[in-house]
């Protein structure tokens, strides 16, 4: 009898400890869920704010450009603004990959023509390098550049669509982590033509 009472007492104590442990675990899980919820809410707000700001900037920039163009043309010139007029705008950084997908071009000229035809402000970038081409001609690397609204000037290599860096006196392949060239590819002159 005494052994059975002791066994019952131990079972009751174990059940009590299990109950108290489950209450603590439940509280910890609720606290962790509350913390995760607050962190997720804050992160979601931040991402939503950035996405909204970017969309608003793009829309505002393009609408402001259209209105400014219209007001400038409605002045003394006698030109009347009509829908379908050609506007040029600086793109957002995340728009750049789409230009290559839609342009289906791999030359600076092809990318430039596509971007301009679609109202995107684009520049030719010509980098003269130290290597001399045959017949005494200067060797030029042809790139394109965009003045992005959110990321400043971005220079792109047309064949790959990758962002590159250029600087006078620096190796083109060295600046861009390309394999070393068997010739001197030090940039000697940079021309940007808008």
Please answer whether residues 129 and 172 qualify as being in contact, where contact means their C-beta atoms are separated by less than 8 angstroms: yes
Query: Which residue spans within the chain are E strands per DSSP?
Result: 123-132, 138-148, 152-157, 162-164, 187-193
Give the three-state DSSP class for 146. Answer: strand
3-state secondary structure of 31: helix
Which of 38-42, 61-65, 161-165: highest mean pLDDT?
161-165
Q: In Å, how far from its chain's centre is CA 65?
A: 22
What is the mean predicted confidence (pLDDT) over 106-126?
A: 90
Helix (H) or strand (E) holding 96: helix 96-103
The distance in angstroms from the start CA to the end CA of the chain is 100
Q: Is residue 167 predicted with pLDDT exceeding 60?
A: yes
CA dihedral 93, 94, 97, 103 (to 10 degrees): -80
pLDDT band at residue 140, thresholds of 50, 70 and 90? Answer: confident
Contact 166, 125 (CB under 8 A): yes
pLDDT digits (tens, 9 = 90+) for 64-104: 666 665 565 555 544 444 555 557 889 999 989 988 888 88
Strand-pair partners of 153: 147
- Helix, strand, coil % over all residues of the chain, rounded to 5: 50, 20, 25
In degrees rounded to 5, what are phi and psi of residue 105?
Answer: -130, 150
């Amino acid at each position: 009898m005494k052994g059975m009472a002791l066994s019952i007492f131990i079972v009751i104590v174990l059940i009590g400890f299990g109950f108290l442990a489950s209450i603590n675990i439940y509280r910890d899980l609720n606290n962790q869920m509350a913390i995760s919820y607050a962190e997720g809410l804050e992160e979601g707000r931040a991402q939503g704010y950035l996405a909204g700001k970017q969309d608003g900037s793009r829309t505002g920039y393009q609408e402001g450009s259209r209105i400014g163009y219209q007001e400038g043309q409605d002045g003394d010139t006698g030109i009347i603004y009509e829908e379908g007029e050609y506007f040029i705008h600086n793109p957002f950084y995340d728009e750049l990959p789409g230009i290559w997908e839609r342009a289906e071009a791999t030359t600076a000229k092809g990318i430039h023509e596509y971007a301009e035809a679609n109202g995107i402000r684009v520049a030719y970038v010509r980098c003269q390098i130290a290597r001399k081409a045959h017949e005494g001609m200067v060797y030029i690397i042809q790139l394109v550049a965009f003045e992005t609204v959110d990321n400043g000037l971005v220079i792109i290599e047309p064949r790959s669509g990758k962002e590159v860096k250029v600087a006078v006196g620096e190796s083109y392949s060295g600046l861009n982590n390309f394999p070393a060239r068997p010739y001197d590819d030090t940039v000697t002159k940079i021309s940007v033509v808008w």
